[in-house]
Amino acid sequence: MRFRDIKKQQKNPKKLKEETTFKYASYLDKTKALITDMFMIYAPILYLIAYVVMGGKDAFQSSQIAPLLGVTLYGIIYAFLLAKFGQTPGKKAYEIKVVDDTTYENIGFFRALLRFIAFLFSATILFGLLIPFYRKDKKALHDIICSTVEIHIDNRHSI
């Protein structure tokens, strides 16, 4: 980078942010991040509910509230992580960040929670998870609903 360009950045840092382009996260990386999150967050929650709270897998399997409690806790933790850091452990491992699609800043807790609920809906109907194959910005239905986008970041230069 030339000295002249560096000097311009110091004078107009806001203008530089507008000119910055982001690489959209690939579908494969988003899928791997989801699987990683399932093992790192959701599986321990289910284990704690099944063996610590319920006392065993038979009680867990016969309960209708226990799986709902597990999904609810996972959704709250997921939303908190997205609101605070823009990433879950799986997304961090694959250098993905969930941001607002216009400002590229972190989203709030309730918007992240709505995104999680919309993801559950998208996954249920499957159509919502196929939309990224037909869009240039690779947004799924839950991203369209919540005006978010998953971008690839470089951990050395985080946003």
pLDDT tens profile 23-37: 889 899 999 999 999
Structure tokens at 148: 């978010």
Burial class (CB in 10 A: 0-12, 13-18, 19+), 123: middle
pTM of the model: 0.80
pLDDT score of 138: 86
Average pLDDT of the residues of the chain: 87
Q: Any idea where the domains of the chain sit in the sequence?
A: 22-157
Beta-bridge mates of residue 96: 152
pLDDT score of 128: 87
Residue-wise pLDDT tens digits, 89-111: 999 999 999 999 889 899 999 99
Residue-wise pLDDT tens digits, 128-147: 888 989 988 889 999 999 99
H/E segment holding residue 157: none
Output phi, psi for 22, to 5 deg.
-115, 150
Contact 97, 87 (CB under 8 A): yes
pLDDT score of 18: 47
